[in-house]
Amino acid sequence: MKSSKEGGIRDFLQLMKPSLSIMVVFSSVISYLLVPDVMYDWWRIVLLFAGGMLVTGSANTINQVVEKDTDAQMKRTAKRPIASGRMSPEQGWGFAIFTGALGVFILGYYFNWTAAILAAFSLFLYAFIYTPLKKVNSIAVLVGAFPGALPCLIGWVAGFVPGQPINWLGGFVLFGIQFLWQFPHFWAIAWVAHKDYSNVGFKLLPSEKGPTKFTALQTVIYSLLMLPITIAPFFVGICNYGNVKGVVGVVLIVLANIFLIARSITLYSKMDVPSARKVMFGSYIHLPVVLLALLLAKA
């Protein structure tokens, strides 16, 4: 144990996986802003962002505690605080409990307790169901897609004041966008990191044989499914296509989907790691563009 570095601020931040957490919370904040009549109150946006970061950071910390031995065996994760021994699992658990409880409290106290309960459920599902399931069966990706998409629903629900009826249809449409998006996104990651993942027993690709035509075809199929689900907000009252902003929003969404579909088709054609990496980075571009386009076209 490197006690001189133990518990450093940088290590605690690394436990939260800030780059990943920011993207997750970004989708939650945009979903919140898509709720009808929600005002651009920066204080509430900051609170929602903080609550989401704390809950997501808690889940990521638990993931690193549970997978400390696995992380230590993979080059890209071996330097993580707990895997490397700079921090103890007990420190990780303490940090996870504190951040998770504080994040859930912020969502419940400042927004509503329905959003807080959804956040707590998402944390539990990711940390205690999805994480251990990765070594059991590739269905883990399907299970993990639920907590991965719940931030959209959490943000949407947070936009309704206590006692106000919640429009669950709008929330589930936004949930569906991020739910389907995760399959081409995560399968591309699993393709790129297949050697590391398979060496530690992770089963994350839809084919037991690893990166195959079947895996690439599934990526294409889910990329195609993104097109109708990303247009759905225009048909459930979230967005309006009857003005200039709405038309621009639709065009941006269609172009973003064509971009992702094209990269997935290239993966199917070439069947190589560089093409999978392009799908992975392409998905990082695709989702923010779609969400911002929806916000631009808000009804």
Pair (31, 81) in one structural domain: yes
* Structural contact between residues 196 and 76, judged by C-beta atoms closer than 8 angstroms: yes
Q: Which residues contact 215 (CB under 8 A, 6 or more apart)?
A: 187, 191, 205, 206, 207
Asked which of 166, 184, 210 is the last residue of a domain, the reply is: 166
Classified as helix, coil or strand, 45 is: helix
pLDDT (tens digit, 0 to 9) for every residue of the chain, 299 residues total?
344 344 488 888 899 988 888 989 999 999 999 999 898 899 999 999 999 999 999 999 999 999 998 988 888 888 889 999 899 999 999 999 999 999 999 999 999 999 999 999 999 999 999 999 988 888 899 999 999 999 999 999 999 998 889 999 999 999 999 999 999 999 999 999 888 888 888 888 877 777 999 999 999 999 999 999 999 999 999 999 989 999 999 999 999 999 999 999 999 999 999 999 999 999 999 999 999 999 999 97
Check which CATH number belongs to the domain holding 214 and give it.
1.20.120
Pair (186, 237) in one structural domain: yes
Check which CATH number belongs to the domain holding 55 and give it.
1.10.357.140
* Dist. CA 114–CA 98, nearest whole Å: 20
Pair (124, 183) in one structural domain: no
What is the DSSP secondary structure assignment for residue 283, as one 8-state letter? H
Burial of 165 (0-12, 13-18, 19+ CB in 10 A): exposed
DSSP letters, 226-258, are HHHHHHGGGGTTSB--SSHHHHHHHHHHHHHHH
pLDDT at site 1: 39
* Dist. CA 15–CA 96, nearest whole Å: 9
Torsions phi, psi of 239, nearest 5?
A: -120, 160
Pair (216, 242) in one structural domain: yes
Q: Which residues contact 295 (CB under 8 A, 6 or more apart)?
A: 30, 33, 34
Burial of 31 (0-12, 13-18, 19+ CB in 10 A): buried
Structural domain of 60: 1-166
* Dist. CA 62–CA 100, nearest whole Å: 10
pLDDT at site 209: 78
Pair (211, 249) in one structural domain: yes
Pair (122, 207) in one structural domain: no
How many residues does this entry show for the chain?
299
Pair (4, 133) in one structural domain: yes
Pair (277, 182) in one structural domain: yes
Pair (34, 101) in one structural domain: yes
* Structural contact between residues 175 and 152, judged by C-beta atoms closer than 8 angstroms: yes
* Structural contact between residues 172 and 238, judged by C-beta atoms closer than 8 angstroms: no
* Dist. CA 162–CA 32, nearest whole Å: 15
* Dist. CA 157–CA 173, nearest whole Å: 12
Pair (18, 137) in one structural domain: yes
Query: Hey, which residues does 239 pair with through a beta bridge?
Result: 298
Pair (110, 207) in one structural domain: no
pLDDT at site 198: 83
Pair (96, 223) in one structural domain: no
CA atoms within 13 A on the CB side of 17: 20
Token look-up 């959003």 returns 115
Selection from 232, 224, 210 nearest residue 276 by Cα? 210
Tally of domains within the chain = 2
Asked which of 120, 145, 166 is the last residue of a domain, the reply is: 166
Asked which of 111, 137, 166 is the last residue of a domain, the reply is: 166
